[in-house]
């Protein structure tokens, strides 16, 4: 498959009064054409900072890309001038945000806001842009598009506003759509509609999606591949089946086990003890070690490298080292693992999302 | 053992004026009971009136109509200061946003002890601090935290402070309004386990309001589903998930994303359209019992159909 974006060893820090917050500490991943890559993690894990860096939306100062590269169409986005970046941002890489209430301008009609994005990047007349805007509204499932063009954001419900935001993001047929928690502020029934819509549009337009969320249910629904972030690093990456049915990192185990499944009730929920580390002073060794019931002595000394599990599956935990002791993951995770062999067999060979 | 009713909500209505003489019927005739020691889950989409129901029960709003009986005593209506105080001690609330619900200018000790002071539950300063330390330990914080301010804590820790504050006056009944939705997944499990442990140890009764249906199912004994100010279905948690009857409940359940890619690939979403009932004008909708303990808002005709299908 064709790689559309490559992120190599990205480090991003914020210089604040108290010192340097190392928000992203060496992130590497590829994005393939037409796929959906979900990035999951808790608040503060660096998932939003990573995605904003792809769009160069982080204010400098206080933020600073310390090292690493973001390769897109043969260019390193970390080195582009603001002017060059403007021809990519919104045109080739587009983004939708969590809160549809604040990402639209309350004083402009919806039509004007969509046309703004079109006129900025494409050589179209106003009339052509208007036609295109109507098409876009129809594409995202808004009825009476002509009338809706003249309305203001407050005349739309939350779900409808998020559709408008998606329409704006799609205005220039982007190659990559970054969706940062696009459905977190919405109700489940509306969320289901928006997710369906995004999948539909992806099929039609063939773009790649980076989907940032902390909701593993949404990930299971949307993703082809999943990257799990913790304390500014990707700790595990693989196809959606590998992450959900054959997870290797204890943090991924913890995340999966702490969700109540619909048929477990009387057992106590598995919970990851403690809270995430302070990235002002990242701990020595594996940042997850203090919360990890499976931590080995070496975890406190040395950071684990990425171990390869399959062609598509990597995890950064010393448990995968040949000298590591064998451990039993939590019961809920063991049950999931039992299903992995079946799923692989059914799909014939390598599981692909 | 017969279950004892702790809270009875009868035909509760809460209307808000919306200007130009119009009213918003946020809660429109809701009836249910909560038994001692159970967790009653209330679910629905934003704007369905679930939070308003919780807030009206504890009298943060004056009810437009209907009754709320707590241990047989009416919560609403004219009350002396003393009576009100007594009720307020027995009913406490945990709020959704752990950032907005703690006064940033008070220390944790003062936040937790506010109720103790108001109700005169500690005779000396030492006793008061002793209570605060105990409460902090109960919710998994430690005594050094007492002199700090809310901004020094993470979201999960703040929610623990909110829980300690609610527990300080030794309530019987706690209304938890989306207590975990602002927290990260790994922290949610910690708080839910804490709430469950406290319930076991102190015999608490909960009204748990949430939109995360899988968590509601996990924590609740019975669940009520609200839609546009009305309760459309009420049943045991297991029963509701296994045999949802009202089409809205079915739609809601089909929309929960499950952390299971295999099932997600094949799932069918159900869409609810209120017009699908085809109610005629003047048709009486009532909350009727289809199978024991399983109530659905339906017309006479639907009732017969549901009975035939499920009973």
Mutate to test the interface with A, among B51, B96, B186, B223 (most CBs of A within 10 A): B186
**CB distance B257–A265 less than 8 Å?**
no
* pLDDT for the residue numbered B258: 87
Architecture of the domain delimited by B5-228? 3-Layer(aba) Sandwich (3.40)
* pLDDT for the residue numbered B291: 92
For chain A, which residues make up each domain, given as ranges?
A: 3-223, 246-347
| Bond before A62 cis per omega within 30 degrees | yes
Q: Which residues of A lie closer than 8 Å to B, measured between beta carbons?
A: 42-43, 158, 187-192, 195-196, 214-221, 223, 240-241, 244-245, 254-256, 258-262, 264-265, 268-273, 275, 339, 343, 353
* pLDDT for the residue numbered B19: 81
- The position carrying tokens 């929309």 is B255
The 10s digit of each residue's pLDDT in A14-55 is 998 888 999 999 999 999 999 999 999 888 889 989 999 999
**CB distance B213–A188 less than 8 Å?**
yes
A268-to-A95, A259, B141, B197 alpha-carbon distances in Å:
39, 11, 20, 9
Q: Where are the alpha helices (DSSP H) in chain A?
A: 47-54, 82-88, 110-121, 126-139, 145-149, 158-170, 188-205, 216-222, 240-245, 250-257, 331-347
By three-state DSSP, how is residue A347 classified?
helix
**CB distance B185–A269 less than 8 Å?**
no
* pLDDT for the residue numbered A349: 55
Reported CATH class of domain A3-223: alpha beta
Q: Where are the alpha helices (DSSP H) in chain B?
A: 50-57, 81-90, 108-118, 125-138, 155-167, 185-202, 213-219, 237-242, 247-255, 261-266, 300-310
A309 — pLDDT class (breaks 50, 70, 90): very high
Interface predicted TM-score (ipTM)? 0.79
Of A217, A223, A255, the CB nearest to B186: A255
For chain B, which residues make up each domain, given as ranges?
A: 5-228
- How close B136 comes to chain A (CA, Å)? 16
A352 — pLDDT class (breaks 50, 70, 90): very low
- How close B96 comes to chain A (CA, Å)? 14
User: What pTM value is reported for the model?
Assistant: 0.85
List strand residue ranges (DSSP E) for B18-57, in order.
Answer: 23-35, 39-43
Which residues have a Cβ under 8 Å from the Cβ of B61 and sit 6 or more positions away? B14, B52, B55
Of A189, A269, A273, the CB nearest to B251: A189
User: Do the bridges between strand A233-239 and strand A208-213 make them parallel or antiparallel, or are there none, so unpaired?
Assistant: unpaired
* pLDDT for the residue numbered A159: 82
Extract the tokens encoding B81. Answer: 């200061």
A281 — pLDDT class (breaks 50, 70, 90): confident
Of A43, A158, A269, the CB nearest to B193: A269
Q: In what order do the strands lie in the sheet with A233-239?
A: A93-96, A176-180, A208-213, A36-40, A225-230, A233-239, A314-315, A307-308
Distance (Å, whole) CA A251 – CA B175: 32
pLDDT tens for the 311 residues of chain B, in order: 568 999 999 999 999 988 888 888 999 999 999 999 999 999 988 888 898 999 999 999 989 999 999 998 898 888 888 888 888 899 999 988 888 899 999 999 999 999 999 999 989 999 999 999 999 988 888 888 899 999 888 888 888 999 999 999 999 999 999 888 877 777 788 889 999 999 999 999 999 998 778 888 889 999 999 999 999 999 999 999 999 999 999 999 998 888 889 888 888 888 898 888 888 877 888 899 999 999 999 999 999 999 998 87
Extract the tokens encoding B164. Answer: 């300690």
Residues in B touching A339 (Cβ below 8 Å): 262
Q: Which residues of B lie closer than 8 Å to A, measured between beta carbons?
A: 45-46, 154-157, 184-190, 192-193, 196, 211, 213-215, 217-218, 237-238, 241, 251-252, 254-264, 269, 271-272
The 10s digit of each residue's pLDDT in A153-211 is 988 888 888 889 999 998 888 999 999 988 887 788 888 888 988 998 899 889 999 99
pLDDT mean over A264-285:
80
**CB distance A241–B188 less than 8 Å?**
no
Distance (Å, whole) CA A208 – CA A156: 28
- The values of phi and psi at residue A12, to 5°, are -130, 130
The 10s digit of each residue's pLDDT in A99-157 is 777 889 999 999 999 999 899 888 899 999 999 999 999 888 888 899 999 999 988 88
Paired with B226 in beta bridges are: B231
- The values of phi and psi at residue A41, to 5°, are 165, 170
- The position carrying tokens 């102190």 is B202
Provide the percentage of residues in chain A whose pLDDT is more than 90: 56
By three-state DSSP, how is residue A106 classified?
coil
Residues in B touching A220 (Cβ below 8 Å): 257-261, 263-264
Question: How many contacts, defined by CB atoms under 8 Å, are there between A and B?
Answer: 115
């Amino acid at each position: 498959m064709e790689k559309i974006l490559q992120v190599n060893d990205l480090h991003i820090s914020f210089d604040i009064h108290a010192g340097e917050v190392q928000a992203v500490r060496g992130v590497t991943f590829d994005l393939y054409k037409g796929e959906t890559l979900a990035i999951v993690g808790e608040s503060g894990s660096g998932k939003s900072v990573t995605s904003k860096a792809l769009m160069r939306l982080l204010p400098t100062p206080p933020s600073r890309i310390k090292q690493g590269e973001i390769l897109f169409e043969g260019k390193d986005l970390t080195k582009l001038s603001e002017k060059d970046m403007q021809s990519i941002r919104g045109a080739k890489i587009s983004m939708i945000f969590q809160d549809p209430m604040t990402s639209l301008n309350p004083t402009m009609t919806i039509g004007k806001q969509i046309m703004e994005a079109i006129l900025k990047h494409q050589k179209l007349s106003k009339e052509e842009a208007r036609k295109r805007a109507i098409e876009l509204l129809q594409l995202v499932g808004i009825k009476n598009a002509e009338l809706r063009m003249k309305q203001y954001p407050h005349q739309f419900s939350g779900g409808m506003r998020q559709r408008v935001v998606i329409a704006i993001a799609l205005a220039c047929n982007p190659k990559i759509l970054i969706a940062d928690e696009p459905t977190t502020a919405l109700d489940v029934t509306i969320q289901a509609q928006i997710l369906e819509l995004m999948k539909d549009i992806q099929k039609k337009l063939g773009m790649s999606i980076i989907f940032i969320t902390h909701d593993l249910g949404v990930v299971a629904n949307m993703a082809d591949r999943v990257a799990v972030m913790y304390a500014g690093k990707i700790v595990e990456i693989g196809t959606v089946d590998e992450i959900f049915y054959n997870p290797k990192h204890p943090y991924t185990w913890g995340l999966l086990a702490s969700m109540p499944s619909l048929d477990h009730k009387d057992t106590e929920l598995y919970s990851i003890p403690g809270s995430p580390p302070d990235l002002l002073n990242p701990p020595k060794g594996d940042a997850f070690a203090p919360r990890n019931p499976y931590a080995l002595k070496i975890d406190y000394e040395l950071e684990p490298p990425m171990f390869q599990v399959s062609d598509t599956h990597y995890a950064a935990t010393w448990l995968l080292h040949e000298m590591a002791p064998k451990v039993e993951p939590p019961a809920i995770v063991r049950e999931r693992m039992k299903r992995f062999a079946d799923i692989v067999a059914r799909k014939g060979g390598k599981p692909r999302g | 053992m017969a279950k004892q009713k702790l809270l009875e909500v009868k035909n509760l209505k809460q209307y808000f004026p919306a200007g130009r003489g119009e009213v918003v019927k946020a809660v429109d005739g809701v009836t249910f009971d909560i038994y001692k020691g159970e967790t009653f889950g209330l679910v629905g989409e934003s704007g369905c009136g679930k939070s308003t129901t919780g807030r009206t029960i504890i009298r943060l709003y004056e009810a437009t109509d209907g009754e709320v009986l707590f241990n047989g005593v009416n919560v609403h209506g004219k009350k002396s200061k003393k009576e009100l105080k007594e009720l307020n001690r027995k009913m406490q609330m945990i709020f959704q946003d752990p950032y907005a619900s703690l006064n940033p200018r008070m220390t944790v000790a003062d936040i937790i002890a506010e109720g103790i002071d108001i109700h005169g539950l500690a005779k000396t300063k030492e006793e008061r601090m002793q209570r605060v330390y105990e409460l902090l330990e109960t919710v998994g914080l430690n005594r050094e935290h007492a002199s700090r301010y809310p901004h020094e804590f993470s979201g999960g820790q703040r929610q623990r402070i909110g829980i300690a504050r609610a527990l300080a006056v030794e309530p019987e009944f706690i209304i938890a309004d989306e207590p975990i939705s602002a927290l990260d997944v790994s922290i949610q499990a910690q708080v839910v386990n804490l709430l469950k442990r406290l319930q076991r140890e102190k015999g608490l009764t909960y009204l748990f309001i949430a939109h995360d249906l899988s968590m509601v199912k996990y924590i609740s004994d019975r669940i009520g589903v609200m839609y546009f100010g009305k309760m459309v279905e009420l049943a045991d948690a297991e029963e509701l998930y296994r045999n949802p009857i009202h089409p809205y409940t079915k739609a809601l359940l089909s929309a929960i994303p499950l952390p299971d890619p295999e099932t997600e690939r094949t799932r069918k979403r159900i869409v609810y359209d209120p017009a699908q009932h085809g109610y005629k004008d003047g048709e009486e909708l009532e909350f009727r019992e289809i199978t024991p303990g399983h109530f659905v808002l339906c017309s006479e005709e639907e009732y017969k159909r549901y009975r035939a299908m499920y009973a």
